[in-house]
Amino acid sequence: MPSLHFKGKTFVQHHHLVVPYHELTPVKAKSLTDKASLHDNVIVHGDNLKALKALLPTYSGKVKCIYIDPPYNTGNEGWAYNDNVSSPMLQEWLGKTVDREDLTRHDKWCCMMLPRLRMLREFLSDEGVIFVSIDDNEVHRLRCLLDEIFGEDNLVAEIAWRNVTDNNPTLISVEHEYVVCYAKKKDRLPKTWKNPNLGVKLRLHALETELIAKHHSQSDLQDAYTKWFRENRFQLWPFEDYKFIDKGGIYTGMRSVHNPGKEGYRYDVIHPDTRKPCTPPLMGYRFPKETMGDLLDKKRIIFGEDETKLIELKVYAKDYEAKLPSVIELDTRLGANELRTLFPESTRHFQYPKPSAFVRELLQFATDKDSLVMDSFAGSGTTAHAVLALNKADGGNRRFLLVEGEDYADTITAERVRRVIQGVPTAKDEALRAGLGGTFSFFKLGKPLSLHSILEGQDLPDYESLARYLFFTATGEEFDARKMKRKDWFIGTSRLYDVFLLYTEDLEKLKNLALNLELANALRGPGGKQKLVFAPTKYLDDHFMDRLRITFHQLPFQIYKALDK
């Protein structure tokens, strides 16, 4: 397979593996919960490469859907690559802010993205997918990177999002961007993505029930709906053509009866007023004559004012078969409007937020009600908003993991989430006005976990952070802090081991901490498995270790990845 080469690639190729593990420090004051926990909705403030590494022990292989919206690399974003790659020369080159004059800006962007995409793939479950927003600046390079990391067979689709009117076209007016979707393992995805709980569909259904009950004449009913439709149309995707209502419900007359691409059925359909045959579609009708008879009986065919107009099919919103199309039409300005409603006091807003309806649409197809959703370029927190709104609409329990590097992780990202959870008094949407409900825990990146600091006795990592790191590194399995029993030195059970960590942040106690016979006898693992014990030293010979089924690893050196495999 051809692969993309760019300056710096050899240096960043395996960079994700050597990123130091950092502690995650809960910030209670910025959280919206009494007890901050990594098992809550999570917002992390910090560089996403480090933050992802720190989240990996808890969430490796657990995430169902990732949505990211990285810098598009337009040359105007003022981003700078700041990963701590080991080569000083490369550091010097990469570290400069990227602008239009920078002829290597595409190389830098690839250097930034490659390790992040590799790391993100680790989070996906076998049924998981990633969506990446991008535009013409980098879409082709992004596809090459994703082909390399995910495998070209795992491309699900490249969605075109038609989102703006180009008021200043040059040769061709560009009115779309892209969302590229790859699967971890495409053969593990369902054959079709079904979406029975389309939020807008539910909203329309509630409205039609209310209007039909209130208005008895057809003209009153249509007038009332037309008024509502005019005010809300721009929020109705994919129902923006559903302009009509009758006693059967809200419907569109835009669906054609022609047979696209191949020869269709030929027969006459008589216009009810002029009694003459209607002009048939060029290639004939899409349905056989009997089906058309049935549709006419059920009043599902819409006639023009005379027989010269093509007939159309009436499709009710309730019969809409949801599918995720490869072309999505939604005005991008909705994102900024949404933020204005959420932050009415502010005049300077986050630039180019995505509309939450857009992200929600992707999530509706690609997640189940209890899925984990991740966004490591969180910006204004649109993904969290979409997750909470979708949960509210379908009674789901999805969770989000967000990472944002800038200081506005608290003032914009988390603040938006606080507001949508607690309610936005000025919002038009009833659910949002009342508040979407939920909690979240805010974390910042702590210090890097250096095993040498244990040797030097300075800046000792805290027990839980070290346990998280050791457990995941040694077993390759998820660490769950809730299962730790610190007084028994127990940190978790893996497929093959009950794992123990004899360690304390108190240097004087640490100096005297050793696995001796008394402690070894007391170690109790709930799994009844071979015991994997990390400790500074041991006073036990191999005979006792075998008898007590203990595999010993000395801190800080003997940490082997995936011992179990």
Contact 250, 244 (CB under 8 A): yes
Q: Which of 527, 551, 549, 528 is nearest to 538 (CA)?
A: 551
Q: Binding ligand SAM by CB under 6 A: which of 115, 353, 396, 461?
A: 353
Letters for 9-48 (x = contact with ligand SAM by CB under 6 A, - = none) are --------------------------------------xx
Q: Binding ligand SAM by CB under 6 A: which of 163, 252, 332, 382?
A: 382
Residue 71: cis peptide before it, omega within 30 degrees of 0: no
Q: Enter the tokens of residue 408.
A: 């506005």
Contact 181, 119 (CB under 8 A): no
CB of 22 to ligand SAM, least distance (A): 13
> How buried is residue 139: exposed, middle or buried, by Cβ count under 10 Å (0-12/13-18/19+)?
middle
Q: Does the protein bind ligand SAM through residue 354 (CB under 6 A)?
A: yes
Q: Does the protein bind ligand SAM through residue 379 (CB under 6 A)?
A: yes
Q: Enter the tokens of residue 411.
A: 């003032």
Residue with tokens 């720190």: 54
CA distance 26 to 43: 10
Q: Does the protein bind ligand SAM through residue 377 (CB under 6 A)?
A: yes
CA distance 335 to 87: 40
Q: Which stretch binds ligand SAM (CB under 6 A): 176-184, 273-281, 401-409, 454-462?
A: 401-409
Q: What is the CA angle 321-186-49, rounded to 5?
A: 110
CA distance 382 to 362: 13
Q: Does the protein bind ligand SAM through residue 107 (CB under 6 A)?
A: no
CB of 344 to ligand SAM, least distance (A): 18
CA atoms within 13 A on the CB side of 216: 0
Kindly report the backbone phi and psi dihedral angles of residue 561, in degrees, each rounded to the nearest multiple of 5, phi listed first. -70, 140
Letters for 280-319 (x = contact with ligand SAM by CB under 6 A, - = none) are ----------------------------------------
* Pairing relationship of beta strands 372-375 and 63-68 according to DSSP bridges: parallel
Q: Does the protein bind ligand SAM through residue 115 (CB under 6 A)?
A: no
Contact 50, 473 (CB under 8 A): no
CB of 429 to ligand SAM, least distance (A): 17
What residue is closest to ligand SAM based on CB? 379
Q: Distances from the Cα of 285 to the Cαs of 281, 293, 457, 565, in angstroms? A: 6, 12, 81, 61
Q: Does the protein bind ligand SAM through residue 69 (CB under 6 A)?
A: yes
Letters for 117-156 (x = contact with ligand SAM by CB under 6 A, - = none) are ----------------------------------------
Q: Binding ligand SAM by CB under 6 A: which of 307, 312, 404, 478?
A: 404
Q: Enter the tokens of residue 295.
A: 């549709």
Q: Binding ligand SAM by CB under 6 A: which of 8, 128, 280, 405?
A: 405
Q: Which stretch binds ligand SAM (CB under 6 A): 248-256, 270-278, 282-290, 347-355?
A: 347-355
Q: Binding ligand SAM by CB under 6 A: which of 380, 441, 465, 493?
A: 380
Q: Which stretch binds ligand SAM (CB under 6 A): 22-30, 189-197, 301-309, 349-357?
A: 349-357
Q: Which residues sit at the interface with ligand SAM, rule CB under 6 A?
A: 47-48, 69, 71, 335, 350, 353-354, 377, 379-380, 382, 403-406
